[in-house]
Amino acid sequence: MTQTDTKTRILDCAEQMFARAGFHSTSLRKLTQLADANLASVNYHFGSKEALLQAVIERRLLPLNKIRHKKIEEIITQAREQERPPAAADLLQAFVVPTLEFRNSSPGAQDFIALIGRSLSEPDETVRHCFLSLALPIFQFLFEGLRQALPQIPAAILLARLQFIMGTMSHVMCMGNLNAFQKPDFPEALEQNVLMDQMLKFIQAGLEAPL
């Protein structure tokens, strides 16, 4: 096995174990056994357990951020060239669609989503701090675009509404197309494309709601 193979196996296993057992409950010894690697390889490739966590999150989040940043930037640039504000609906779509499409982007995406879901709900801040520090730049870029799109909404209210949107997205990301209220007399869960369309309409209405 090459060094790259070893590093990738460690990342894959760390992502899986951090998601299912939690960061602090994951033993590096068990992790390296699962990755068919030795304990020293974690220090060699990453330096520490915390640095391994950083690498796990960066591997998935930074490419996604790059896609979202490019789409948002294109919308803002086009609006500037046409001497008009960007449309909130376009900005939301540029951010939301790649995020939801990420769920099916690779075999490990579901574990990554579970890891981030845990980080947002558990009291320990280790994973949450790592994730939020990497997510903040794209969140801020989206917020700045929405301020141009919706100048009539005070910044503090717009920020609060954007956080509501993130909560909605987190729920949809973690639940997928599952119906949270599964009963025989309830309708079946929506298909992916319909779910995405309805969520975009829902969050746009909330974002642009009257004060």
pLDDT at 182: 65
Residues 72 and 91: beta-carbon distance below 8 Å: yes
Reported pTM: 0.89
Question: Which residue ranges form the domains of the chain, and what is each CATH number?
Answer: 60-207 (1.10.357.10)
Asked whether residue 204 carries a pLDDT value surpassing 80, the answer given is yes
- CB neighbour list of residue 69: distance below 8 Å, 6 or more residues apart: 137, 138, 141
The residues, any chain, with a CB within 8 Å of residue 14's CB and separated by 6 or more, are 26, 31, 35, 52, 53, 56
Q: What is the pLDDT of residue 172?
A: 85
- One-character DSSP codes across 93-142: HHHHHHHHHGGGSSTTHHHHHHHHHHHHHSS--HHHHHHHHHHHHHHHHH
For residue 4, pLDDT over 70 is answered with no
Rounded average pLDDT over 2-14: 86
| pLDDT tens readout for residues 34-59 | 999 999 999 999 999 999 999 999 99
Single-letter code of the amino acid located at 171:
H
More confident residue, 122 or 128: 128
Which tens digits make up the pLDDT trace of 73-127? 999 999 999 999 999 999 999 999 999 889 888 888 989 999 998 888 888 899 9
pLDDT of residue 77: 98
Neighbours of 69 (CB within 10 A): 16
Average per-residue pLDDT for the chain: 91
Return the higher-pLDDT residue of 96 and 178: 96
